[in-house]
Each structure stands twice: as C-alpha cells, then as structure tokens.
Copies of this chain bind each other. A is one copy, B any other.
Amino acid sequence: MPVPKHIFNPPFNVVRCSHAVLRVRDLVASRRFYEDTVGLKAEDAGKDAIYFRGMEERNHHSLVLKQATEPAVERLGFKVGSEEDLDRAHTFFKERQLPAEFVDVPFQGRTLHATDTQGNRLELYFKMAQAERILQQYGHYKGCQPQRLDHFNVFAPDVQGSIDFYASLGFRLTEYSETDDAEPKIAAAWMHRKGSVHDLAFTHGKGPRLHHIAYWVPTALSIIHLCDVMATTGYLANMERGPGRHGISNAFFLYVRDPDGHRVELYTSDYLTVDPDHEPLRWSIRDPRRQTLWGTPAPRSWFEEGSTFPNVPVRAPLFEAQPIVAD
C-alpha cells in the first residue's frame, strides 16, 4: 500500500494513548484479576468503578472498570498536549460531522467524548489527577509488574480508512501487513504518537471492536511468571496466546482474557520510532513469523473475538482474508 505521508503539524496534538474504560459484570472478580494477578495498582475503588495504573504511571489511571450488566468497551482514552488541543479536537470532529461533546470526567476534568470514522468511541483530555510515585516502591510489585499502558488494538472493517484517518491526526505508521496481490490489500497496521511501535493498531475484522489493550512489562521473565501464576490460580482458561515473540514490533508478548473476556496483552521490548525519516516495515500476510517470530499460529478466538462498544453496530470487513490459525 502507499505509505501515508506523515503530518508533522496535526490539527491537534495527541500525546499518547492513555487509558481504557471497560464495563465488567463483577468488580470483585475483576479486581482479583487485575490487581492480585496481573499486578496493577488499584488507585481508587468504589462500588461502581475501579481505577488502575501501572508502576511507572503518575497519572491517576490507565484502566477504568465500571460495574455493568454486560461487558463492553466504553471509551479509548488519549491524552492531548494542552487544553487548546481539546478545543481544536472538538472543532476537528465537528467539522467532519463526527460526534464530539465535552463532558466532565472524574480525575480528568474537561474531557472530549468523540467518535472516529470507524465508530470507535474515544475520550480526549489534557490533565489528569496525579498520583503518588510508586515506581520505586518495589515492595508493592506484584504479578508481572506492569509498568505502563502501551497501546490499543482495534478490529477495523476498513483498515485503510482507519490508517488514513489517524494519519491525518499525525499518527505515524511503523509496520503493516498486506496481501501479496498485484493490488495488495492492507490487513493490519501499527501507528504511534509517543515514539514506540504503536499507540493504536488496526486488525482487519468485524468492527468497531476492541481487540486488546496492552501493558508494558519489564522483561520476558515477568511474562513467564504471570503464566505460572495464572496457570496455578484458576486462570488457566484465560491464557489465550503466547508467550512468544512477535515478528511485527519484535515485542515479547502474552495475551490473556479478563473475567469478562476483555483481552489484555502483556508486552515488552519493542523499539524506538521517533525519527522523522523512520520507514515503516511491510510484512506479507503469508509470512507466519509476522505474528509469532517462532512460527506458532494464533488460535481462532484471537482472530474472532473482541469487545464491542455499547449500542455501536458491528460491520463486516470490506474483504475476506484468511487468518493463519492454530486449529
């Protein structure tokens, strides 16, 4: 595919992906999973919501769980560079007839609820409440010692359309996979703002749906320890894929499912992408090492299951593609 031109002066400045807001059916069960097992810090917990963050995060939360009757993803949160960027974002969405309205969100203040061209529900804010620095409170480290939210991955019925939209917001393409046809069709794409491989990735499939959120962990051994813990504390069935090394991004990974089926990736050791002349990498969709460098295929659930946004209809993808599946 033609690599989109990088926009160095986007209409508003998205700093990075910031947090996800997920609906769950049982906050107690979810807390046992995210706090006791994965190792996030529960920064604030009430009967309606729990706020979590990673060890190095000074912002109040990178994951919000809300009590609900059905699992869903409510919002994908992004931090912008200033209050003015929020206003510019509001103008941007409105000019394109995309939903956008300001709301007041606990711990975030003025927040822009907006929807992208694919139907993904976003929330943008500038300044979040700051929490105590716990990076060097090693006595409280648990689980796989998650450091920080790294990225979101969403199913996109129209990956090319998603790329074009986010490229217009200044997101940079770092890697992508496509068919080997004379007119290749894009299958997946990784785009960043913060200087890593991605803040947001698009996977070809029925959408809009959240494929997964990912936390950065210190080393591959943190992930192996989480496998050992999950396998022996009642979460064997929640281990979906990995551990392994991605060809794409070069990261070491594990995919797990939370008690409501939301998918979480534990992720480490990708690479720096801040250079303006950094060239994206192309992978053939037929190269098995793009998904797992070691050749192991992903299970069917990984290609098919995801979290929906409430009341947002899911559309079929623009074309059919055959995943390389384990079964």
Contact = CB atoms under 8 A, between A and B. Distances in A.
B272 A231 contact: no
B219 A276 contact: no
A147 interface: yes
Contact of A138 (B8, B219, B228): B228
21 contacts: A15-B275, A15-B276, A37-B139, A58-B275, A58-B279, A79-B275, A127-B277, A135-B250, A136-B228, A141-B225, A147-B271, A148-B272, A219-B220, A219-B221, A221-B221, A227-B245, A227-B294, A228-B293, A228-B294, A236-B288, A236-B289
Contacts of A138: 225, 228-229, 231-233
Copies held by the complex = 4
Q: Which 3 A-B pairs have the closest CB atoms?
A: A138-B228, A139-B233, A56-B271
* A contacts with B: majority SS: loop
A311 interface: no
A243 B137 CA distance: 20
A8 to B, nearest CB: 7
Interface in A205-246: 218-221, 224-225, 227-233, 236-237, 239, 243, 245
A217 to B, nearest CB: 11
